[in-house]
Each structure stands twice: as structure tokens, then as C-alpha cells.
Structure 1
Amino acid sequence: MALHLAWAFVFGVLGNVVSFLVSLAPLPTFYQIYKKKTSEGFQSIPYVISLFSAMLWIYYALLKKDAMLLITINTFCVFIQTFYLVAYFYYGPKKEKVEAVKLILLFNVFGFGAIFFSTFFLRNPLTRLQILGYICMAFSLCVFVAPLGILRKVIKTKSVEYMPFTLSVFLTLGAVMWFFYGLLLKDMNIAVPNVLGFVFGILQMILYAIYKNHPNKMVQDPKLQLSSHHMVVDVAKLGSTVCLEVNAVAPHPNETNTNHDHDGNNGDASNKV
């Protein structure tokens, strides 16, 4: 095995480990849902997008044929995101179930189906792989831009309540691993998005260091979430995105301050990770 392929394997394995851990980050959120017996106040879109991203990267890796480590982590992401969605449906109110179904149809059925059928039957395999690679890269870049809203909110409120440091560290590490994996494989579709992921990860940690000692303020926008940020975790998107994804959840708009005091932490469940 050539030296650069050996190093690509090493970084790919490390990327799998980090992405695996990040994919488990929403578990505290679903434990909270289990205790409350309702998913009301939580959104399904982070899990839908994470599942969509994992499906894209599996399709890309299968066509590429030499990216088995992309397949392994994204297969796990498909499994875990499906588990999250099943749990969400089990405890979700009817209205939120309908919204989740619409999102699944939009992204995972029609969206993925359109991409698959518009590329799979192209005669030139290289053209097919190139087009699909551009689609995956564009989607990952969009996912990595999502934390801009969180960075703005942190600066505005001088609070890191919705930006857990541990998660930011793992997302940054994942971006580094997958960047070198893509670089050593000479696959810019994997490497390029993770440059952006690394930059945003460093910015988050810098902001955390600046504002970590500031008292938490009540965030005025109760629907603020880190969901898009976590999609990025899903392998090359972190993955991911992410994968990706890892999903922070804000308090429900109708929850009172008393309820906030009772729960002790009414914000991002990922803070417990």
C-alpha cells in the first residue's frame, strides 16, 4: 500500500471514530423526550437533513469505489438517524408528525430520488461521479455555513448557552480528519467543505473562550437551534455533517420561566454531551 493511502486510511479511521461519537450526541435530547413522553418543542429537520446527507455520501462512495471508510460511517449515520426519526414519530404530536413526513418526502424521497435518477444513468462514469461530487460538496458547504447564525447570536447575547464547547471541539477534529482523508485521496469534494468546517470550528472555540465567563442570558429567539451545524458531521460533511449533524434543541416557545428553573437546563440538550 502506498504511503499516502496508508495515511488516508489512518485519517479515515480517526474520522470514523470522531463522527461516530458526534452522531451519538443527540441521545440526551431523546432521553429528555422519553422522560417527557413528547417531542413537542423539538424539530425533526436536523435528523432528516443528517439522513439525507448520509444517503448522498453513501451513493457517492459506492460510485467512487475506493472510499470504504465513507460507507462505514455513513451507514451508521443512516441507522442512527432513522432511529432518531422513529423515536420522534413515536412521541411526536400529530402536527409535528405531519411536518416531519413532509420533510422526509422532500429531502429523502424526492430530493434524493431526483439526484439519483439524474446521475445514475449517465453513460460516462467519470461525469456521473464528478456531478454527484459537486452536489455533495455544495450541500456540505451550505451545511457548514449554518453556524454563522449561532456565532452571531453568541456575539449578540455574550452567552455560549447554545454553543457547547465539547461538541465544537469534536466537530473541528472531525473536519481536520476528513480534510486530510480527502486530500490524501486527492478528492477535493471531500476535502474542500471541511476547510470551512475547520474555520468555523476554530471561530466557535475562540468565541467560547471569550464569552464562557459571561453570565447566561435568556435568548429571545426560543427556536434558535444548532441543528444545521450538526449535520455537518456526517463524514465528509464532517459530515455530519453531520452527520454532521448532532442537534442542539432550544426550549419550546410556550415553556415558562418556572419550568426553566425546574429542569435546570432548558436549552441545548447537547450541552450534556
Structure 2
Amino acid sequence: MISADAARNIVGIIGNVISFGLFLSHAPTLRRICKAKDVEEHKPDPYLATVLTCMLWVFYGLPIVHPNSILVVTVNGIGLVVELVYLIIFFIYSTNNKRLKMLAVLGIEAAFMAAVVVGVLHGVHTHEKRSMIVGILCVICGSVMYASNLTIMVRVIKTKSVEHMPFFLSLAIFLSGCC
């Protein structure tokens, strides 16, 4: 029989591998955008939602909030960088209107994140309460992140084609949900 800590680490490593796959699952879409030099009908919603979720999870995993969470910090730190690269690509090939909307959302996310950090660090003084508050925000934003990928479903239904619903994205979301 393995210990609870060993089981938690094993599940954590498996979860990190699946999460890394989830972050990379948008790469084919971004490759297509780069080739076409146009975002076409793609929306930045999933990338914007994932940036906020990753920022919150990185904050959650810091020792000042939830000690011994290095796996959470590493995978979400990598995910944050990957998603920011996606947003840069999206920004380059978007129209000015979409760029302004993206910048507005990123500004709101940054302000929200700053408020969370300041509020939690100054208003809550135990690891248990900090991890509870930030953890609840992570779950809420994670749910929004998963739901944001459903914007692709609208396109699939309209076109009656799964061409715009990448298989690896669907697989990664399924495996991540299972884990």
C-alpha cells in the first residue's frame, strides 16, 4: 500500500502532464492562424480565461498561500507563459477592435488579480483561510476556463462540421476533467 502523500504526488504529476497537454492543445489552431495571417472567426476567450486561471493557480501554489504546492506553481507558470504566447499571436493577427477588447479584458484580469493578492495577503492571516479563498476563486475561474472552450461548439453547430473543434483539445479537456 502506498502512502497518501505518494498517491497525491502521483496524481499531481499525472494531472500536470494532462494540464500541459491541455495548454498545448490550442497549438494547431494558432498554427493555422499564423499560416493564414488572420484569426478568421476564432475568439480569444479560451486564452483569456486560461490566463486568469493560471495566474490564480500560481498565486494559490505560492508558499504564502498554500505551502508545498510546487507542482501547482510549475504547471500553471508554464501554462501562463504558453497562453500569453497564444495571446500575442492572436493579437498580431487580429483587427484593432479585437485587440482593444483583448487589452480591456487583460486589464480587468490584472486589476482583479492585484485585488485578490492585496486582499488575501493583507486581510487573511492563516494558510488555511488563504488557500480556501484563493482555491474557491481558482475553481470558479477554472470552470469559466473550461466553459470558454465551448464557444467552439457554437461554430461546430452553425457549420455542422467538427473542423474547428480540435481533437487534442477535446481529449485534453476530457482527461483533465477525469483527473
TM-score class, shorter-chain normalisation, is 0.7 to 0.9
Structure 2: which 5+ runs fail to align?
none
Give the CA deviation at 1:128.
2.2
Aligned-residue CA RMSD (Å):
2.8
Give the CA deviation at 1:42.
2.5
Give the CA deviation at 1:90.
2.0
Give the CA deviation at 1:57.
0.5
Aligned partner of 1:259 in structure 2 is: none
Is it true that 1:57 corresponds to 2:57 in the alignment?
yes
SS of residue matched to 2:123: coil
Is it true that 1:31 corresponds to 2:53 in the alignment?
no
- Larger relative CO (CA 8 A, sep 6+): 1 or 2? 2
Percentage of matched positions with identical amino acids: 28
- Are 2:61 and 2:70, in contact at CA under 8 Å, matched by a contact in 1? yes
SS of residue matched to 1:47: helix
**Which 4+ stretches in 1 moved above 3 angstroms?**
141-167
* Distance in 2 separating the partners of 1:153 and 1:88: 18
Residue number among 122, 127, 130 corresponding to 1:128 in the alignment: 130
* Distance in 1 separating the partners of 2:44 and 2:151: 19
Give the CA deviation at 1:141.
3.4
Aligned partner of 2:118 in structure 1 is: 117
* Distance in 2 separating the partners of 1:23 and 1:42: 17
What is the TM-score of this pair, normalised by structure 2? 0.82
AA aligned to 2:122 is: F
Give the CA deviation at 1:166.
4.4
* Distance in 2 separating the partners of 1:150 and 1:42: 8
Aligned partner of 1:98 in structure 2 is: 100
SS of residue matched to 1:71: helix
What is the TM-score of this pair, normalised by structure 1? 0.56
* Distance in 2 separating the partners of 1:82 and 1:166: 20
Cα gap change, 1:138 to 1:60, in 2 (>3 Å): same
Give the CA deviation at 1:76.
0.7
Figure out how many residues of one structure are paired with residues of the other and give that number.
175
Spell out, residue by residue over 1:215-270, the C-alpha distance to the aligned partner (whole angstroms, 9 max, x if none). xxxxxxxxxxxxxxxxxxxxxxxxxxxxxxxxxxxxxxxxxxxxxxxxxxxxxxxx
Cα gap change, 1:129 to 1:102, in 2 (>3 Å): same
- Are 1:18 and 1:174, in contact at CA under 8 Å, matched by a contact in 2? yes
Give the CA deviation at 1:131.
1.5
AA aligned to 1:14 is: I
Aligned partner of 2:88 in structure 1 is: 86
Spell out, residue by residue over 1:134-169, the C-alpha distance to the aligned partner (whole angstroms, 9 max, x if none). 222222334445677777997999865555554333
The structure with more helix, counted as a fraction of residues: 2
